Structure 1
């Protein structure tokens, strides 16, 4: 829905977040359900590395783009770790750099808490309006974007915990 927004900046941000969300979903499939081929993990690293380039460029403009850069970097990190992990250890932990994994866990846990707190007032204000259908579509609603970002942050914490 956010990709259908009338504002070009919203569409671009939503596209980047959709890429991250689909990539996270693909990486989170348990090995008991589907074991990816060996080339999948380096491919994920390349895709998320490519996603980090526009985030790096846009990070000059604001803090939210820095978050995208950290997220893309975390996905590259997890892809590289999983590429080096033995096939039988997929999702079993015991790999990665503990200090870096811990730092990313702290960052995303803080992001989840902050985003959750920011979501509460927007949801309360959105329900307080009396009928007047504004011109903004569903894709332009700030609480939708925050809810999407919150769910992706929670998923990132879960993925880092299993690393």
Structure 2
């Protein structure tokens, strides 16, 4: 991706932390949620690697190889999401969530191929030329911006009235509620990272 190296490393850190959180969430989960969290962890680590400036700081040939490697990786994630969406054991999962995962994987494949097809000409051309199709990039930007805003509002506290239960460290949420909040937070972080990477395309 082109843009300031500092932004790339910040995105790398954000996506790596998100991937680690999803990986920890997969431990001890039931098969369905574990597969979902594992896919999100793979997406987070893949995004972290792609956002790092290192793969894009070499020669045009290295850019092309990096683009094909990431395209293959995210293409495999896309096929995995399609397979999981079609299996009976995931029939009860939210169709919207499956669609979001599919769009995320497809967006990463799109960005990878855009980097492969970027006109060669050295590092200067790599950092100055825009990649991808403006219409497709714009539609993806609108989707992920809307997703981040929608998910962010859902994570905000629902009420400000007096608490009816115990207050203090022992008033922690049940494990299921905590897991749901962490899962939504991971998707929010990855959606924001996807939006930033599309801007840097």
- TM bracket, shorter-chain basis: 0.7 to 0.9
Cα distance between partner residues in 2 of 1:39 and 1:94: 18
1:63 aligns with 2:96: yes
Structure 1 residues 92 and 106: CA distance shift in structure 2, 3 A: same
Please identify the structure whose Cα radius of gyration is greater.
Answer: 2
Partner of residue 82, structure 1 = 115
1:47 aligns with 2:73: yes
- Kindly indicate whether the alpha-carbon contact (under 8 Å) linking 2:141 and 2:195 is maintained by their aligned counterparts in 1: yes
Partner of residue 27, structure 1 = 50
RMSD between aligned alpha carbons? 2.9
Relative CO higher for 1 or 2, CA cutoff 8 Å, sep ≥ 6?
1
TM-score (normalised: structure 1): 0.83
- Matched residue SS, 2:157: helix
What are structure 1's unaligned runs of at least 5 residues? none
Structure 1 residues 145 and 99: CA distance shift in structure 2, 3 A: same
- Kindly indicate whether the alpha-carbon contact (under 8 Å) linking 1:31 and 1:90 is maintained by their aligned counterparts in 2: no
What are structure 2's unaligned runs of at least 5 residues? 1-23
Deviation at 1:128, TM superposition (A): 8.0
Cα distance between partner residues in 1 of 2:52 and 2:29: 33
The count of aligned residue pairs is 160
Structure 1 residues 128 and 104: CA distance shift in structure 2, 3 A: farther
Cα distance between partner residues in 2 of 1:2 and 1:128: 29
Deviation at 1:35, TM superposition (A): 3.7
Deviation at 1:93, TM superposition (A): 4.7
Deviation at 1:75, TM superposition (A): 0.3
1:13 aligns with 2:46: no
C-alpha deviations, 1:66-97, integer Å up to 9, x for none?
10100000000000011122342445452210
C-alpha deviations, 1:45-83, integer Å up to 9, x for none?
111111111222344541101101000000000000111
- Matched residue SS, 2:109: helix
Partner of residue 187, structure 2 = 149
Partner of residue 136, structure 1 = 175
- Matched residue SS, 2:130: coil
